[in-house]
Amino acid sequence: MVLRYRSLIGGSQHDVENYISSMEDDRELAKYISMVYLAHLKSLISKGYIPINEDAVKLESELVGLIQSNCEDVYKWVKHENLIYEDFFEALESYLHHKVGAVAGYLALGRSRNDHVAAVLRLYIRDKLIELLVELLKLRKALLEKAARYSGIIIPYFTHRQIAQCGDASIYFLSHLHTYTKLWRIIISNLDLLTENPLGAGPAAGTLVDHDFKLLAENLCLNESQIPPYYATGSRLFLLHALSDIALLLSEISRLAENMFMLNLYARDAIKPPVEHVATSSIMPHKRNLVTLEVARAKANLILGFLTSAISTYSSLPYGYNLELQELNKVFMETVKTSIDTLRIVGDFIKRLEICPETLDSLVTNTTCWSAEFVEYVSIESKKPTRQVYFEIGELIKEGRVVSELNIDVKKLALAKPVAVKLKEAMSEYEGFIREDEETLSKLIKNLSECGNKLLKLHS
């Protein structure tokens, strides 16, 4: 007999079952579901609910093999048997009954899909955020390299989508770098929500089983302490928090793209994007379109839509599990995949971006982007009130005589600013931040690896 939950209800209809089933979406979660099942099994064995015998070790071994093979055998078996399951949890339980027999029935003790999926999602999201943080570190390194390489090169800066000032190119790259440094640390600090242990919460209000929470924590890198069961099973705060952090990150990626579009517009021959990231028109061969950044901006807006949709779905639900929560998983999976891909592409764009100083020299010298500096310089040198100088410079600008009248080396003026003088010091500081964050991430990955190795160790 094939184990299926709905055999207690009666008949089924394929189109209805396919509509509510998450089997295909669960492919990305399958390994984590097996990990939680294995940790659960070890806890039951530790507490004496399951005797340590040949059958129990066989069940352990089967789960270890599934984790290592990303559960492909389960999907092959389901396809071969032409079965439809509600989700991978049901499919896995049925598969284990098929493979190892009645001992697999113990896995239903002291658990529910509700507390297990809450644990599974934490493990999955944690791994995906680590992937995201790795790509974000690469982007930060690319921005720092560009800041160092183009230090002393003057580029235009914008307010109200108009050229406002001209200044050291390092300021441009360090400004974006600062944002991504802050976001990197926000994301990693919020991993705390993902260390909560929802196991043992049962469907909504706990279970009679006294779990080995120390062992669960060691095997899954979760906290030992229990959390309130109703929250454990019914909350997706941890998922929405991660989703909102990613949406913030992608909104900043969109702004970086917009800044590159403006530089490409106003300093077209001075900014040289990598050719692989550029496309031309099918009928206008002069066109040079920054297509990867256009797609990145669209992806960012898509993710903002995902966040809005997810919060809207979530906010109408009471505590306790509701199947709408299953739909949030799809939203997060698409979000994190899109975000990691986007960071990889944008990081590559920045890494191979080139700037042509000679072309920029002509642009910034002949562009009215020095008015603020002129006003401050003349006010300081002449001891005149700044507002008086402001109006005098304004009149010269209207007559087109400001540079010739004042005879000031505008580039020298820009590079003499205190912020420009301290740029090397700032770059050294951000280099230190990157080293610190690499070390933090390395320790986290090592800790997770140690937990994983402990989980996969079989009873002798």
pLDDT of residue 19: 65
Q: What pLDDT does 278 receive? A: 84
**pLDDT tier, 21 (very low <50, low <70, confident <90, very high otherwise):** low
* Residue count (the chain): 460
| Mean pLDDT along residues 55-69 | 91
The confidence score (pLDDT) of residue 270 equals 85
pLDDT given for residue 15 in this prediction:
54
- Distance from first CA to last CA of the chain, Å, rounded? 31
- Residue by residue, DSSP assigns 330-387 as HHHHHHHHHHHHHHHHHHHHHHT-EE-HHHHHHHHHTSS--HHHHHHHHHHHHT--HH
Measured between alpha carbons, how far is 38 from 61 in angstroms, rounded to an integer?
Answer: 9
Residue 253: is its pLDDT beyond 90? yes
Each residue of 291-328: pLDDT tens digit? Answer: 999 999 999 999 999 999 999 999 989 998 888 888 89
Q: What is the pLDDT of residue 241?
A: 96
> 233 near 201, Cβ under 8 Å?
yes
Q: Residue 402: is its pLDDT beyond 50?
A: yes
In the predicted structure, residue 433 carries a pLDDT above the cut 90: yes
Enter the pTM of the model.
0.91
Q: What is the pLDDT of residues 65-91, one digit of tens each?
A: 999 998 888 888 888 877 777 778 888
* pLDDT band, residue 121 (cuts 50/70/90): very high
Residues 259-282 have pLDDT tens digits of 999 988 888 788 899 989 888 767
The mean pLDDT value for 182-206 works out to 93
What the block records as the tokens of 152 is: 């002393």
Structure confidence at residue 342 (pLDDT):
96
Average pLDDT, the chain: 89
Q: How confident is the model at residue 384 (pLDDT cuts 50, 70, 90)?
A: very high
Mean pLDDT of 158-179: 92
**pLDDT given for residue 173 in this prediction:** 97
Rounded to whole angstroms, how far apart are CA atoms 221 and 215? Answer: 10
Domains parsed from the chain with CATH numbers: 5-109 (1.10.275.10), 119-152+168-199+228-357+426-450 (1.20.200.10), 370-421 (no CATH)
C-alpha to C-alpha distances, 375 to 51, 60, 159, 263, 379, nearest whole angstrom? 84, 76, 18, 25, 6
Please tell me the distance from the alpha carbon of residue 355 to that of residue 144, in angstroms, as a whole number: 15
Mean pLDDT of 3-8: 53
How far are the Cα atoms of 7, 59, 202, 214 from residue 210, in angstroms, in the given order?
30, 21, 12, 12
More confident residue, 21 or 131: 131
pLDDT score at 8: 46
* pLDDT given for residue 420 in this prediction: 86
What mean pLDDT is predicted for residues 394-417?
Answer: 77
Residue 164 has what pLDDT? 86
- Measured from the Cβ of residue 179, the count of other Cβ atoms closer than 10 Å reads 18
Comparing CA positions, the residue from 206, 196, 194, 72 lying closest to residue 130 is: 194
Is the confidence at residue 331, as pLDDT, over 80? yes
Q: What percent of the chain has pLDDT over 90?
A: 57
Lowest mean pLDDT among 117-126, 160-169, 438-447: 160-169
pLDDT one-digit tens code per residue, 337-382: 999 999 999 999 999 999 988 888 877 777 778 888 889 988 999 9
Question: What pLDDT is attached to residue 17?
Answer: 60
pLDDT tens track for 231-242: 999 999 999 999
